[in-house]
Amino acid sequence: MTLVKEAPARPAKERSAAPDAGRRGRRRENLAGYLFMSPWIAGFVFLTAGPMIASLYYAFTSYNLFTPPRWVGLDNFTTMFQDPRWQKSVEVTLKYVVVATPLKLLLALGVALLLAQKRRGQALYRAAFYMPSLIGASVSVGFVWRALFSDDAVVDRTQKIFGADVGGWIGNPDYVLYSLVALSIWQFGAPMVIFLAGLKQVPQELYEAAEMDGAGPFRRFWNITLPMISPVLFFNVLLESIHAFQVFGSAYVVSDSRCGPADATLVYTCYLYQKGFKESQMGFASAMAWTLVIAVALVTAVLFWSQKKWVHYEEAAK
């Protein structure tokens, strides 16, 4: 609901001028809109909507993927809320979202600001910083992460300098989640590139004018860069939060689909996967999925609502 309100409203004056031509124009606009949208509409109807509605229905059934689903009402939800492993997965996910998302975005923005300056070898730097994200969730990442965060490996040795010896993060239920967080932060390339693209759009004259007015780099960043890239910042905050809620790949890489030890990396989607695919409880998994949808939708709605306060769109500026 909030989302609908947020989309820019049509200016009133356009509507009042020349009612006849307006109506014809509107019809033409509608037609054009739907023509441009047609691939998405086809995709939505055929690929997304059906499976989505099916999964919503499954959420209220007991469904083992083979025999027809059996309606059980809210059973899946009540079982779920009482399930200690589900509670654990919520806890792990929230911890992950809250720690990983801001750190990743800060690093991405920092490096993007660094790379946005015109320097020698810029392209090379950019590719180098993007390298970790190119590797994706490959098996070799699993190997290297084990190697980095094991006992006596580089992270552990560094940690020992500061007097903390935990015997490595991997395999340690109290620390392994942070190796996952580290993996997510390490692959900061996607938001970085998006920040860079956003920074490219900031008109240089604004900086020149600000410099004329004697604004230091910090004020220039606060008064010009930040508002100008706010649509992109908004996009990154929104998408990285959604992705963090749905994280699966990095958990899979660090601890395969067991997401352990002791459920220490049991992120929400990993538990959903175990329930749906390892244990064939698709009804339960669907209930989990829709609970996640509602939770993330709330977060999304809050973000969309908040953008009025801090996101600066070109078209809304007038």
Partner 1 sequence: MRTSRNVERRTILKAAGATAATLGLAATTGCGGDSGTSSDGTVTIRYAWWGGEPRTIAMKKSIALFEKKYPKIKIKPEFTDYLAFWEKFQTQASGGNPPDVFQNAVTFLRKYDKRGVLMDLKTQADAGNLNLENFRNGVLANGQVDGKQIGIPVGANTMALVIDLNAFKKAGVEAKFGWTWDEYFAALQTIQDKLKIAGDTGYFTIMYLYDLYLRQNGKAFFTDSDLGFTEDDLTQWWEDGYKRVKSGLVTDPKKIEQVSPKSGLSAGLAASEFTWDNFSIRYQGEGESDYGLAPIPTTNGKDTGQYLGSLMLSAFSGTKHPKEVAQFIDFMVHDAEVGKIMGYDRGILPTTEQFDAFKPTDPNNKGVAAYEDEVAKAGVLGKITPHPSGADVIEAAFLRIGGEVAQGKTKPADAAKALFGEAKAAFAG
Partner 2 sequence: MTSATTPAVRSGNERRRTGSLAWHVGALLLLAVVLYPVIWVLGASFKPSKDIIASIDLLPTEPVWANFSGLADGISGISIGSFFSNSLMYAGLAVVGVVISSSLTAYAFAKIRFAGRNLLFTLMIGTLLLPYHVLLIPQYVLFRNLGYIDTLVPLVAGKYLATEAFFVFLMVQFMRGLPRELDEAAKLDGCGHLRTYWSIVLPLSRPAIITSAIFTFINAWNDFMGPLIYLNTPEKYTVSLGLMMFRDQEGISNYGSMIAMSLVALVPVIAFFMAFQRYLIDGMATSGLKG
Which parts of the chain are beta strand (E)?
61-62, 70-71
Residue 68 contacts partner 1 per CB under 8 A:
yes
Number of residues in contact with partner 2, rule: CB under 8 A? 105
Residues of this chain, 196-235, that bind partner 1 according to CB under 8 A: none
Sign of CA dihedral 46, 52, 57, 58: positive
Residue 261 contacts partner 1 per CB under 8 A:
yes
Measured CA to CA, the distance from residue 255 to residue 257 in angstroms comes to: 7
Residue 67 contacts partner 1 per CB under 8 A:
yes
10 with 30: CB under 8 angstroms? no
Residue 129 contacts partner 2 per CB under 8 A:
yes
Residue in 3, 18, 37, 49 binding partner 1, rule: CB under 8 A: 49
């999304």: which residue's tokens? 300
Task: Quote the least distance from Cβ 265 to partner 1, whole Å.
Answer: 11
Residue 263 contacts partner 1 per CB under 8 A:
yes
Residues of this chain, 194-223, that bind partner 2 according to CB under 8 A: 194, 196-198, 200-205, 212, 214
Return all residues near 112 (Cβ < 8 A) that are at least 6 apart: 192, 193, 195, 196, 199
Residues of this chain, 86-115, that bind partner 2 according to CB under 8 A: 111, 114
Site string for partner 2, 51-90 (x = CB under 8 A): xx-xx--x------x-------------------------
Return all residues near 267 (Cβ < 8 A) that are at least 6 apart: 89, 92, 93, 96, 180, 247, 248, 251, 259
Residue in 5, 24, 278, 308 binding partner 1, rule: CB under 8 A: 278
Choose between 14 and 279: whose C-beta lies nearer to partner 1: 279
Residue 166 contacts partner 2 per CB under 8 A:
no
Phi-psi region of 262 (alpha: psi -120 to 50; beta: other; left: phi over 0): left
Q: Which does 225 bind (CB under 5 to 8 A by kind): partner 2, partner 1, none?
A: none
151 with 167: CB under 8 angstroms? yes
Measured CA to CA, the distance from residue 222 to residue 216 in angstroms comes to: 10
Task: Quote the least distance from Cβ 208 to partner 1, whole Å.
Answer: 55
Measured CA to CA, the distance from residue 196 to residue 114 in angstroms comes to: 10
Q: Which residues bind partner 1 (CB under 8 A)?
A: 45-47, 49-51, 53-54, 57, 64-69, 71, 84, 146, 150-151, 167-168, 170-173, 255-258, 260-263, 277-281
